[in-house]
Amino acid sequence: MKAFAALYARLDQSTATGDKVSAMVEYFGSAPPGDAAWAVHWLTGGRVKRLVRSTDLRRWLIEASTLPEWLIDDTYAHVGDLAETITLLTQHDPAAPPQDTSLAGFIATELLPLAKLTPEAQGAVVRRWWQSFSDRERFVVNKLLTGGLRVGVSRLLVVQALAKLSGQPSDLIAHRLSGDFQPTFQAFAQLIAPGDVAMDADKPYPFFLASPLEQAPESLGAASDWLAEWKWDGIRAQLIVRGGVRLWSRGEERLDGRFPEIERAAAALPDGCVLDGEILGWIGAAPLPFSRLQKRIGRLKPGAKTLADCPVVFMAYDLIEYQRADLRQRPLRERRQLLDSLVDASTLRLSEPVPNDGWATLEAARNGARERGVEGLILKRWDSAYATGRRRGDWWKWKIAPLTIDAVLIYAQAGHGRRSNLYTDYTFALWHGDELVPVAKAYSGLNDEEIAKLDRWIRAHTLERFGPVRSVEAFHVFELAFEGVNRSTRHKSGIAVRFPRILRWRTDKPFREADRLETLAKLAQ
């Protein structure tokens, strides 16, 4: 536990990528394989089922600290992170620190068994941890309890550290780590083993992601060197046919059973192939809004009504394995030729190239993307390999300009991690009659100076507090950008926006002149 807590502290305190990679290499190289496996699991975003309730943690903290509830609530509202709040309010010097235990041993013998205990018994165990662990270890334990072990380390950095440790290519490590990685010492040994490990039939390949195109497309050279496709607004997925059919999302979630029409169609594909593409709601000749598709995502076994309300297709745009051979290093042109021979125009569809007579033609197509229900264009170099992650140069997403509104700030909440002492999560509203109605939450788009200035204003102009949330005076207007608008019965406004973010602080605009809800409603699909 001490070694992992030290690693977590070093990662949390460092802003240098090289230092973070070095810290992980040192830890993975010296930790027992079982501990290293759990570290990989946590650092790549893995979780375990929530073991204790937040309300119980708060109650145990009141009992353990003997502090008044109002002070605990006020501290939590200021800190913004429950694990950090608990650690701060239970600081002490253990009289008899426990003998150091392995991370894997602690998880197996103490953490996971909490699930089988009553809340009273859980409280006794957790309070014992608070009394016996040092501050650094207690913070990590609290993070594990609350399920929020975010520490500024991406999956890619973990892959880089493991590749550096093992001497294996990072693409190979990423592939081995994909799918449902089990935190066992055997799994960690296979992860860094030399040579090629036998293919797991269930595993997807690491996804290749397009980078945002922020320069003029002409800077990419001749348009004829590029394949242009529509940027579909669906669920990125890999369709795997290896002794059966499996469907994996880009978030590495198994989707088996949720889209039975795709699985039935895939059964006709030859064994030993993997298709990369997009799951889309589809009726006739056009995609459905993403909001329709969302209703199917959480249904493990969709019924007849759900299947009829939102039929789906798999829009394939790459073939990365064929006849059990890895095609990722073959040029895109060859992969597409093979793909074209595998799919038809029904449930498994080919993402057809957009007519390309030059950059002017492609720009005209991009400008009309929203009317087609797509987000713009994807540009792929015809001779490109299928890489791992977001590697700039060969795949670009050339999105249409976002939709925008001018909205009023009405609520603010503290952020997380390094921003836990600043109000950085904002709720915005539009006018509906004489009332401001909430329409979007956003937390990105302001620079550090603007965040600090707005934070001071929020603290000085708070009207009410609702736990960690502050209601503020209607005064500041912000221009928000978003990708789409849909009708929604789950929101008070009746409208849901996709991917809202702040474009600029409209200090030039009085709050009475912010946009109206009716303006946003006209954009809804």
Active-site residue numbers? Answer: 231
Distance, in Å, from the CA atom of 320 to the CA atom of 328, rounded to the nearest integer, reads: 5
Contact 497, 485 (CB under 8 A): yes
| 484, amino acid identity | G
φ, ψ at 167 (rounded to 5°): 80, 10
Contact 463, 456 (CB under 8 A): no
* Residue 147 burial by Cβ neighbours in a 10 Å radius (0-12, 13-18, 19+): middle
Helix (H, G, I), strand (E, B) or coil at 463: strand
Nearest CA to 158 among 39, 31, 12, 34?
39
Distance, in Å, from the CA atom of 122 to the CA atom of 124, rounded to the nearest integer, reads: 5
Q: Which two tokens stand for residue 127?
A: 């309070």
* Residue 50 burial by Cβ neighbours in a 10 Å radius (0-12, 13-18, 19+): exposed
Q: Which two tokens stand for residue 516?
A: 């109206």
Nearest CA to 253 among 287, 297, 292?
297
Q: Which residues pair with 399 in a beta bridge?
A: 376
Q: What stretch of H or E contains 32?
A: none
Give the largest Cα separation in the chain, rounded. 76
Count helices and strands in the chain by DSSP H and E runs = 20, 20
Q: Which two tokens stand for residue 366?
A: 């991009």
Contact 437, 523 (CB under 8 A): no
Buried residues in 81-120 as b, exposed as e (16+ CB within 10 A):
bbbbbbbebbeeeeeeeeeeebbbebbeeebeeeeeeeee
Distance, in Å, from the CA atom of 348 to the CA atom of 387, rounded to the nearest integer, reads: 24
Distance, in Å, from the CA atom of 5 to the CA atom of 8, rounded to the nearest integer, reads: 5
Buried residues in 468-490 as b, exposed as e (16+ CB within 10 A):
bebebebebbbbbbbbbbbeeee
| Residues with Cβ within 8 Å of residue 23, at least 6 apart in sequence | 7, 10, 11, 14
Distance, in Å, from the CA atom of 171 to the CA atom of 240, rounded to the nearest integer, reads: 19
Q: Which two tokens stand for residue 108?
A: 């197996």
Q: How, if at all, do strands 226-230 and 235-241 pair?
A: unpaired
